[in-house]
Amino acid sequence: MEKARVEYLILKGMEFQEAKKQAQTDILKIFKFSPFSIEPSELLNISKDGEGNAMLLAVSLILQGNRSEGELTELLSNISTDIKTDGILNSTILGTQLINQAMYLDTSAIRNNLEKRYADLGVDVQIPQFEKYIRLFMDSTDFEFTNNISYPVEGNWGKNILNTTDSIFISGSNYSMTANLPSGTTLKVKHNGNLTAALGFPIGQDNTGWDDLGPDESMVWRSYKTNRTGEVDLKLFFYNDVTLYIYENDAETPIRIKNLYRSQ
């Protein structure tokens, strides 16, 4: 991402080393990182401790996200072009693409995968504290997050029990448990009460998108989970009042708690 910016600054009369430093500063500001005193980017190393190394890994992860090689190459090219003349990422579309991916990075899994990979190679490393910089970007950026899971009012089988409006449902009638998931998101619904999947629409098969995680040890709570991109929809019914705990993106606390009340 530095290359086009460095070339532009040199053409404007700046010395190479100064242009390099300016380009690095400009890129780090996109992610709300303060460069203070770090080495040039080509000397940074994601397998060593240090603030600059942590920034490099965080930027790399935000850019990579769950993109294919081709998608990543296109993104890097577009950012490089955008920041060439003023050092600022002016495209809100590109900025939104960055925050949409950053929000769903599983930093614990990333750290474990990196440590395992280096261990398999027989290399002793110290992965830098990249997690705080990903959090800094998510908490500080002005780019708009748009990759929200949505909950339609209706599903294929009737009113959606996950919608954000209704809470009264007719006892014994069929309903949907439906959501639309952007790429890279996950959703889990934990419930108590007699919430039953209707026959003829098997759980865990491709026509639902939901996996049944079964009851917990108390046999009181049961959970369903999905990570399928697009629409998921399960046909179900219930006879008693039910409480739903709705968890997005493997969060430990629910984004919503919803009470369903039956009506005869």
pLDDT in tens, 160-172: 999 998 888 887 7
Residue 134 confidence (pLDDT): 96
Band the pLDDT of 183: cuts 50, 70, 90: confident
Q: Which residue has the tokens 């890279």?
A: 184
Q: What is the pLDDT of residue 1?
A: 93
pLDDT at 200: 43
Rounded mean pLDDT of 135-141? Answer: 95
Q: What's the pLDDT band for 207 if we cut at 50, 70, 90?
A: low
Average pLDDT rounded to a whole number, residues 28-42: 88
Q: What was the pLDDT predicted at 206?
A: 52
The rounded percent of the chain whose pLDDT value lies above 90 is 62
Share the mean pLDDT of the chain: 89
Q: What is the mean pLDDT of residues 137-156?
A: 93
Residue pLDDT, tens place only, 79-121: 999 999 999 999 999 999 999 989 888 898 899 999 999 999 9
pLDDT of residue 198: 60
More reliable by pLDDT, 215 or 86? 86
- Tell whether the model's pLDDT for residue 202 goes beyond 60: no
Span 181-187, average pLDDT:
86
Q: What is the mean pLDDT of residues 120-137?
A: 95
Weakest mean pLDDT among 21-35, 121-135, 171-185: 171-185
38-47: Cβ within 8 A, 24+ apart: 41/2, 46/114, 46/127, 46/128, 46/130, 47/114, 47/118, 47/123, 47/125, 47/126, 47/127
Rama region for 65: left / alpha / beta (φ>0; ψ in -120 to 50; rest)? left
Q: Give the pLDDT of residue 240.
A: 82
| Predicted local confidence at residue 38, as pLDDT | 85
Residue that is written with structure tokens 């419930």 in the block: 191
pLDDT-derived band at 199, boundaries 50, 70, 90: very low
Q: CA of 55: how far to CAs of 26, 106, 134, 210, in Å?
A: 13, 17, 9, 37
